[in-house]
Amino acid sequence: MNEKTIKWGILGTGSIAGVFAKDLAFAENTERTAVGSRSLESAEKFAEEYGVSRAYGSYEELLQDSEVDAVYIATPHPFHKENALACLRAGKAVLCEKPFTVNSGELEEIVEFARDQKLFLMEAMWTRFLPSIVKVREWIENGEIGEVLLMKADLGFRAPWDPQWRLLNPDLGGGALLDVGIYPVSFASMIMGTNPEKILSTAHIGETGVDEQFSIILSYASGKTATLNGALRVELGKDASIHGTKGSISIPSFLSAKSAILYKDGKEAETFTDDRESKGYAFEIEEVGRCLRQGLTESPVMPLDESLEIMKLMDTIRGQWGLKYPFE
């Protein structure tokens, strides 16, 4: 069982699905078994480009493939609930692209079903599994920077103006928080824990009715604070930093971090470098395989209860802005 090859199905054929398919080649004991799209032409083109064995012209056909062990959901987040439940009903393990869902109510329904059926389910927060981020957690757990008190994480880019584009379209769950914001919010949860005592936030709601940029301050017990920024129409730094009573950690481009730097008081800086060949999705793919081989139904690194708390936090933040999607 420890060497069992996990046969993957990919639901969706967008750009993120392509990145995932490429990185499957770098993950041990995996196979690109099948891809499903809403059109057979799209599925066949994707299968040929990325070396996927079988192509299906519907999601239903993909889920009927008895050889598929796990499905990666690569559709836009307003469709995640429907897609995840369909996968679970078909008895498939599920790795769902971030954000898990649009709101916590949707996620609670999926989690409840997965747990009832004893099926594996995980949010595809790939950043958590990168070697540099694993090293950061190790440094913190070992007390290298003492008690963590402050952290900061920014992620944003300037997108071209297109009101119909999914990230600016409220009918498609657009906005900075759910797309790029999930990364700094989840990073803060990983470092500081869930359930901050105070949540202060502000956002610029653009003319299409979604948040184009935001700033968040989270206050925790013992005076800990996280400052987070995200944007769709403003280029931001993509770095994160963590500050403790004995030093600090810097993570350049934390989203896809290839390095992390430890600064300990009175000592020379220590740099950890990740020399991977892949984009980095291979590590979350291997985590799913490890869990399935061990008979686990969720990952201890990205547990479902934490994903739920993160989604509840984002619900609260959107509530502060008065941002509700037409379909909610």
Catalytic positions, written as ranges: 98
- Looking at residue 5, the DSSP 8-state letter turns out to be P
Listed residue (60, 290, 99) closest to 185, CA to CA: 99
One-letter amino acid for residue 136 of the chain: V
21 in Cβ contact with 36 (< 8 Å): no
53 CB-near residues (< 8 Å, 6+ apart)? 31, 32, 33, 34, 47
Nearest CA among 50, 55, 44 for reference residue 19: 50
Sheet with strand 247-251: strands edge to edge: 198-205, 211-219, 225-231, 148-156, 240-244, 247-251, 259-264, 270-273
Give all strands (DSSP E) within 206-283, no chain letters: 211-219, 225-231, 240-244, 247-251, 259-264, 270-273
**Can you name the residues that pair with 228 across neighbouring β-strands?**
153, 216
Secondary structure (DSSP) of 132-183? HHHHHHHHHHTTTT-SEEEEEEEEE-BPPP-TTSGGG-GGGT-SHIIIIIHH
